[in-house]
Amino acid sequence: MSMLQVENLSIHYGMIEAVHDVSFEVAEGEVVSLIGANGAGKTSILRTISGLVRPSQGRILFQGQEIHKQPAQTIVASGLSQVPEGRHVFPGLTVMENLEMGAFLKKDREENARNLKKIFERFPRLEERKGQDAATLSGGEQQMLAMGRALMSTPKLLLLDEPSMGLAPIFINEIFEIIKDIQAQGTTVLLIEQNANKALAISNRGYVLENGKIVLAGTGQELLTSEEVRKAYLGG
Ligand code: ATP
């Protein structure tokens, strides 16, 4: 079953067309990557799916329902959660308080406690630091917190915008391991990455964006071994 369908999506900022007639889908249980150079339109697509930007053309369906006219909080409540680029933890709040913010739409205390337990199992570092001001965490720890916070809402679909950006190699490998683990636990993932090699290696399928258009689609393995992708994104 299709979890997410993006149909003929165009996005404009004033006169500028950032995304042109893009269609793709994410099936339930998949990890799907969007890869492409800076400015290709990847973030614009994620922000439109989560309701922060309105499309100028096209439709977005989540579990068969149109969502592209719905407010962002309705979209989150229906089971779609985004981890924005640059992490964005709430400074001045502790790690624990940041995680609790992720569950603000969930009134089910038992479910919240279960989610918190799972998140601490997955990110033991966050449990060790639960009383610490989130702003004082390292970059990698902040990325884990941002992912943990998104998982507190028990999303069916998790949108990740450049989760490896600016991280040390040891954290980068860990983040990709965690994404695989999130998939194994039943959450579908749409991933944007500059790190095409690592992203495609864990993806069921991927799409390559250039100047706001999809120029190539295939399985993660097909794209990893494609001459075109190797030249443009994987360093030859
Ligand atoms: P990066 O990998 O560098 O983050 P991206 O593929 O995510 O890039 P977008 O951030 O979606 O690309 O940007 C696509 C195009 O839209 C760019 O040319 C960008 O300058 C433009 N753009 C994005 N946001 C706005 C905005 N709020 N106003 C005007 N133009 C914008």
Q: What is the pLDDT of residues 86-124, one digit of tens each?
A: 778 999 999 999 999 888 766 788 888 999 999 999 899
Ligand 1 atom at minimum distance from 36 CA: 6
Predicted local distance difference test score (pLDDT) of residue 228: 80
Give the right CATH number for 2-87+155-233 from 1.20.1250.20, 3.30.1280.10, 3.40.50.2300, 3.40.50.300.
3.40.50.300
Name the closest-CA residue to atom 14, ligand 1. 41
Percent of the chain with pLDDT over 90: 71
Whose CA is closest to 115, among 72, 76, 155?
A: 155
Ligand 1 atom at minimum distance from 194 CA: 2
Predicted local distance difference test score (pLDDT) of residue 187: 95
Whether the Cβ atoms of residue 81 and residue 156 lie closer than 8 Å to each other? no
What is the pairing mode between strands 31-36 and 205-210? parallel
**3-state SS, residue 200:** helix
Predicted local distance difference test score (pLDDT) of residue 64: 96
22 lines ligand 1 (CB under 6 A): no
Q: Taking the model in full, what pTM does it have?
A: 0.91
Cα of 212 from ligand 1 centre, angstroms: 10
Whose CA is closest to 43, among 62, 24, 76, 18?
A: 18
Predicted local distance difference test score (pLDDT) of residue 201: 95
Name the closest-CA residue to atom 16, ligand 1. 18
Cα of 45 from ligand 1 centre, angstroms: 10
Name the closest-CA residue to atom 3, ligand 1. 38
Cα of 111 from ligand 1 centre, angstroms: 37
39 lines ligand 1 (CB under 6 A): yes
71 lines ligand 1 (CB under 6 A): no
Express the helix, strand and coil content of the chain in percent, nearest 5 each.
40, 30, 30
Predicted local distance difference test score (pLDDT) of residue 234: 66
Whose CA is closest to 25, among 206, 226, 147, 201?
A: 206
Name the closest-CA residue to atom 9, ligand 1. 41
Domain limits, the chain: 2-87+155-233
What token pair was written down for 167?
Answer: 């991280």
Cα–Cα dist 196/201, whole Å: 8
Name the closest-CA residue to atom 27, ligand 1. 13
* Best probe residue, ligand 1, of 15, 17, 35, 42 (max atoms within 8 Å of C-beta): 42
Q: Which residues of the chain have pLDDT under 70?
A: 105-106, 234-236
